[in-house]
Amino acid sequence: MTSTSQALSRILAAIAASAMLATGCATGVAAVSAQSAVAAQPAAASSVDYTQAMKSFTADASGDQLAYAVNGELKDVAYKDTPVGRHGKLSIGKAAGFSAPTVLDEHGQPFQLRGASTHGVQWFPQYINRDAFQSLRDEWGINMVRLALYPREGGYLQGSQAKMDAKIEEAVTAANELGMYVILDWHVLNYNPNEDAAKAEEFFTKYAAKYKNLKNVLYEIDNEPTSTSWYDGSGNDLYTYSKRLTKAIRATGNQSIVICGTNTWSQDVDAVAANPLSADGLTNVAYTLHFYAGTHYDNIKNKLRTALSAGTPVFVTEFGITDASGWGGIDIANANDWMTLLTRNNISYAAWSLCNKGEGASYLKESTSKTSKWTGSELSTSGIWLVNTSRRIQAMIDGASQSSGTDTDGSTTEPTTDPTPDPTPDPTPSEPSEPTNPIAPTEPTTPSEPQTTTTGLTAEAAVSSNWGMGANVNVTVNNPSDATYTGGWKVEFDLDGTITNLWCGKIVSHTGNHYVVSDASWNASIAPKHGTSFGFGMTKAPTSSALPANLTVNGVAADASQGASDGVSDGASDGASQESGAAESSKDSTDPKAPDTPKASDDQKASDDQKTDSSDSQSTDTKPADPKPAASDLTVEAKVNSNWMLGATVQVEVGNTTDTAHEGGWTVEFDLDGDITNLWNGTIASHKGNHYVITNASWNGTIWAKQNVTLGFTMSKSLFADAQPTNVIVR
């Protein structure tokens, strides 16, 4: 009894100490405590102490003020005191006190990975460097970095392989030296990963063999597959893909943790229990759940609870404190509720995203140019919240370790510095049945003599949503030529309103109603037959048009004859397309498409309760010449994904049931007992009364054989209104 009481007293003291750290900023003690917390690295807590501490945790982090010192200082930490030095190779297994299998360290004790996810490596490679990782380790409470390796969207399979291979090598080397864990994330976004399964198998076979002797590398085989059942017996489901990829990794002799994506942007983790990979003898496997606190509430939390009750090991490889678009809608209270749920169940996590993109989910302010050694004043709300959350969990665990006086590290050797070379030979996979890139042919990794141009850009502006007193507008700069455009771009226009926030560009000047916007440096180059976009939110008078006027790009006037899109009424939901001639030049032809609007429409990244990374970074043939498809080619289904008193999120799926690709675009019409406030993966062509007409976005007008595309929206409505669209048709 005395021993139990003493143990409980130690835990309570540890929790109190962590609480003092979390609030110490106001009392002046945080700076001293925070600076010593990482360097001290006490021995690991016993399993009992660790579990009791985690089970008692309640998140209450602020996004307004740091509770810990972030001064940009790097610390000299011996390898044996680093996360990998203390915890070694990880596995998935059962631990007392937790209902589902969870991450265990080399000593068989539960262990939580606290991670930072990069943005797309092809767009923000500068943040993959040793000092950045060390800053996260030493001052942010982070012990793992996730590399977002897009196969498509101009990524690994579409022209950026050489650059991304180099960054993988740099990242793994840095993490290995720093004693941090790293996830190689095959960042599938919004499609069936079986389409590129052969290429994915080639990728993971290569890297699983190369790093099989390292303790710190984990493998995420598909980020956010969508409209693909976990298991349906078709042989084209996520179970089939996950089994194939996991077996390929194991065939190299690599036994590290494999993380499998789930359907609906990795939200349907509750579907795994009926057919887990363990039934095929595949172990050390976890399953993803993604959430964004401004969109995902009890409906997704209950999916997590169901999965845990069924014994499904869950890993949150991506989340944010914003809404699903990644841009706004921050909900700190719900983010803290999510983090309480994760920590009490020892669920590892990685937060989106390490960059200065300017969206709400980015850790760094847009004005922050540094790529490491950040100070507190350079962090966004998301960055501040992440530091406060991760450091408090770290302090709690370290406090429990100090109280227990236990040491479970055992002997530790220095990290392996010479990984096993690439497998010889690599398997020769068959080509995927569907084209790797449905929008444009795969570009060579390193063209011998790339063609460049500094002229010929066109531009178009479209209003994506209009609610009377405000609107969201997207402007796309296109390169229709066969050569890479280089040298940067500048768009000018007149606006009958005021821009309140702008992404993927920079306001150079604003005089009266005239705006000048330039590229954001990372999107200054535009690949052949591609485009890049920037967007903005604005305030205006109810009768004013939201559509930019007198649009020019690089000083050349647009063709006014383009006019407004069919069916668009001025002042409601405007849309227009304007073109101009000349242009100047840009930067790297291997980095043509950066995320263009919300980590959805990457990176608006949303749908239902979701996102769509870099949607506007796809091909920019915005109005295909082919005629609209016949109704018999397509099917349409609308469903309400979440519904609260005065609003809802709705998902609309357009499917192609034929054996041939459906080209030429699509149009969906429906009646809605409410107003759309935010739309992704489509464009509002017209809105009259309760009737909406929505057309495809520039990049998803083609639907491949037996495939589908999904659009989504949030809506406002009255208390008793039905959120379900009616009279839904597709043509």
Catalytic sites, residue numbers: 224, 318
Q: In what order do the strands lie in the sheet with 530-539?
A: 458-466, 470-479, 530-539, 498-503
What are the phi and psi torsion angles at 256 (to 5°)? -70, 170
Question: What own/partner pairs with CB < 8 Å and gap ≥ 24 does 640-646 have?
Answer: 640/723, 640/724, 641/299, 641/608, 641/609, 641/712, 642/295, 642/296, 642/297, 642/299, 642/608, 642/609, 643/723, 644/297, 645/719, 646/716, 646/717, 646/718, 646/719
434 within 8 A of 521, measured Cβ to Cβ: no
The CA distances from residue 162 to 147, 183, 710, in Å, are: 15, 19, 31
Cross-strand bridge partners of residue 259: 220, 286
The CA distances from residue 697 to 78, 615, 625, in Å, are: 52, 8, 15
- Cβ neighbors of 713 (< 8 A, separation 6 or more) are 649, 650, 652, 676, 677, 678, 679, 680
Instruction: Name the token pair of 671.
Output: 């009646």
199 backbone φψ class: left, alpha, beta (φ>0; ψ -120 to 50)? alpha
652 within 8 A of 668, measured Cβ to Cβ: yes
CA dist., res. 631 & res. 628, Å (int)? 9
Q: What share of the chain is helix, strand, coil (3-state, %, to 5)?
A: 25, 25, 50
CA dist., res. 439 & res. 444, Å (int)? 15
What are the phi and psi torsion angles at 188 (to 5°)? -60, 135
| Chain centroid to CA 196 | 20
The CA distances from residue 430 to 201, 628, 659, 700, in Å, are: 10, 34, 20, 26
What element of type H or E holds 54? helix 47-55
| Chain centroid to CA 16 | 34
Residue 37, SS3 per DSSP: helix
Beta-carbon neighbour count of residue 622 at 10 Å? 21
**Going by DSSP bridges, is the β-strand pair 258-260/285-292 parallel, antiparallel, or unpaired?**
parallel
What are the phi and psi torsion angles at 522 (to 5°)? -75, -10
Residues shown for the chain: 731
Among candidate residues 96, 73, 159, the one with its CA nearest the CA of residue 123: 159
363 within 8 A of 46, measured Cβ to Cβ: no
- Cβ neighbors of 274 (< 8 A, separation 6 or more) are 231
Cross-strand bridge partners of residue 694: 668, 684
Which burial class, exposed, middle or buried, applies to 503 when counting CB atoms under 10 A from its CB (0-12, 13-18, 19+)? buried
CA dist., res. 560 & res. 38, Å (int)? 60
432 within 8 A of 200, measured Cβ to Cβ: no
Sign of CA dihedral 227, 228, 229, 233: positive
Beta strands in 281-333 (DSSP E): 285-292, 314-320
Residue 381 CB-half CA count within 13 A: 18
Cross-strand bridge partners of residue 714: 649, 678
